[in-house]
Amino acid sequence: MELVCPAGNLQSLKMAVDSGADAVYVGLSNNTNARYFAGLNFDEHTLADGVRYAHERGRRVFMAINTYPQQSRWPLWMQAIDTAAGLHMDAVILADIGLLDYAAQQHPELPRHLSVQGSATHLESLNFYHQHFGIRRAVLPRVLSLRQVERLTAKSPVEIETFGFGSLCIMAEGRCYLSSYITGDSPNNCGACSPAHAVRWQETPRGLESRLNNVLIDRYRPDENAAYPTLCKGRFEVEGHTFHALEEPTSLNALDLLPQLAKAGVKAIKIEGRQRSPAYVAKVTRVWRAAIDRWQRQGDAFVAEPSWHAALASVSEGSQTTLGALHRSWQ
C-alpha cells in the first residue's frame, strides 16, 4: 500500500520523502491546482529540484493539475501538462475531461490519475475514464462509506486511492461553488476556496474577526485557535444561536480502518495538506509510515498506537478527528 503525501513547497517535499512517503504530490504556483495559495507551490526550477531529490531516493512525484480551465486560459493548463512531461513526473492528477484527453493524446507515456475533483463515485465513471483516457488510478471522493469503497474497489479497472488523513471539505469535491457567491472566484477554476485577495483579519473589541470580501465569517476568543476562513466552516447566527451551521472544522482520520482498506484492495493512502507546514507533513507522514509498516507485519491483528492518534489530533483541523462518511451504514 503506497503512502502518498502532500508537498506545498520544496522543504515539505523533502520532509515527506525523508519521513517515509512513497510518493509526493505537488502543484504549480498558478490556478492549475486546487491548492493555489499565496507563498505555496512550485515553479519549474524548484520542481525540478524536488523531482530529482525524490527520484534519487526511489520515491515518486505526482503533479496535481486538478482545477477546471476556462476557454480563455486553456493554454496555461496545457503548459502545466507539458511541464509535467518534461520533468518526468511519475503521474499527473487530472479532473477535466479536456485535459485528460490532451494528456492522453500529446503525452501518452505520462501516467494519468483521476483527481478527487473528478468526483467519481461509481463503477461507470471509473470505466469511462479508463476506457477513454487510460487512467491508471482514481482518487475517491470522501463521500463513500467503507462498504461502498469495498464494493467499488472489487470491480474497479484501475487502482484506487483513498484519503487517510486531513481536513475535510463540505464533501462536494469538484462540484462546490459555495465560496464563489462571496469571493467571486470559483474554487474549481481558481484553485482556492478563499483566495488571498478576499481574506481580511481584524482585531476588534469583540475578538479577532475573519472576513471574506468584508463578510464576517468567524470571530475568535483569545483562547481559540483561528482557522483560515472558508464559508462552509464559518460560524453563523441561526435563530439566536451562533454555531457552525454548515460544517464543523474537523479532520478525517482513518488510521483504525487501515486493515479494512487494505483488505478491500485500496492501493494508496493519501494525506491531505499541501497548504500545511513542513512540520505537519513530517509528523503525519511518520505516523502513517509506522502504521502501514506495522500493518504489513501484523495484518488483521493491526492496532494503532494511542500515541499515533494523539499526534494526528494535535495537527487536525478544529483539534478533532472523524471517520467521516467511512463509518456510515448507507449503501
pLDDT digits (tens, 9 = 90+) for 96-153: 999 999 999 999 999 999 999 999 999 999 999 999 999 999 999 999 999 999 999 9
User: pLDDT band at residue 171, thresholds of 50, 70 and 90?
Assistant: low
**The pTM is what?**
0.93
pLDDT above 90 for 267: yes
SS3 60: strand
- Among 10-24, 134-148, 163-177, 279-293, which stretch is predicted with the lowest mean pLDDT? 163-177
Distances (CA, A) of 42 to 84, 183, 193: 12, 25, 19
Position 238, amino acid: V
pLDDT above 90 for 195: no
Residue whose entry in the numeric block shows the C-alpha cell 505526482: 62
Q: What rounded mean pLDDT belongs to the chain?
A: 93
As a whole number of angstroms, the distance between CA 18 and CA 137 comes to 25
Nearest to 52 by CA among 10, 97, 3: 10
Q: Are strands 199-204 and 236-238 parallel, antiparallel or unpaired?
A: unpaired
Cross-strand pairs, 301: none
Give me the pLDDT at residue 120, please.
95
Give 65-74 pLDDT, tens digit per residue.
999 998 999 9
Give me the pLDDT at residue 117, please.
93
Give me the pLDDT at residue 228, please.
81
Give me the pLDDT at residue 331, please.
67
CATH superfamily membership of 2-168+250-327: Aldolase class I (3.20.20.70)
Cross-strand pairs, 326: none
Contact 25/66 with Cβ under 8 angstroms? no
CB atoms within 10 A of CB 228: 16
As a whole number of angstroms, the distance between CA 106 and CA 94 comes to 15
As a whole number of angstroms, the distance between CA 298 and CA 292 comes to 10
Cell of 30: 498558478
User: In the chain, pLDDT over 90 holds for what percent of residues?
Assistant: 76
SS3 261: helix
User: pLDDT band at residue 37, thresholds of 50, 70 and 90?
Assistant: confident
Cell of 46: 524548484
Q: Where do the domains of the chain lie?
A: 2-168+250-327, 180-243
